[in-house]
């Protein structure tokens, strides 16, 4: 994404990127009451195991249950939190 932003960035704007379609939009970001902090926590993460893998599997199972390609296609009104397969949707 670094190269994408380097080419598409616009001064005074944040860049909203849809990583599936690569569509993007420059969103004005010039409110003096807002700030962006970039912080290195120093924590090392391994995406191949642990909670990331479990969360991804839960999201994929929920998407299959709802017969959608991705949970991003689900609107809030369609979520039934009484079904255990949808518990993950509360996080997303």
pLDDT tens digits, 5-48? 899 999 999 999 988 888 999 999 988 898 888 899 888 777 66
Asked if residue 43 belongs to a domain, the reply is: no
Asked if residue 61 belongs to a domain, the reply is: yes
**pTM for this entry:** 0.53
Asked if residue 44 belongs to a domain, the reply is: no
Burial class (CB in 10 A: 0-12, 13-18, 19+), 84: exposed
Q: How many domains does the chain have?
A: 2
Asked if residue 57 belongs to a domain, the reply is: yes
Question: Which residues span the domain enclosing 19?
Answer: 1-34
Return the pLDDT at 19: 81
Which residues are CB-contacts of 2 (< 8 A; sequence separation ≥ 6)?
none
Return the pLDDT at 61: 87
Asked about 2 being catalytic, the answer comes back as yes
86 & 56 share domain: yes
29 & 2 share domain: yes
pLDDT tens-digit map of 38-82? 899 888 777 666 777 888 888 888 888 888 888 887 766 666 656
């Amino acid at each position: 994404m670094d190269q994408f932003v380097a080419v598409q960035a616009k001064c005074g704007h944040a860049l909203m990127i849809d990583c599936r379609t690569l569509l993007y939009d420059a969103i004005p970001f010039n409110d003096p009451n807002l700030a962006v902090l970039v912080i290195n926590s120093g924590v090392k993460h391994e995406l191949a195991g642990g909670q990331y893998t479990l969360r991804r599997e839960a999201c994929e199972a929920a998407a299959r249950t709802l017969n959608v390609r991705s949970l991003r296609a689900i609107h809030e009104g369609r979520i039934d939190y009484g079904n255990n397969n949808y518990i993950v949707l509360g996080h997303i």
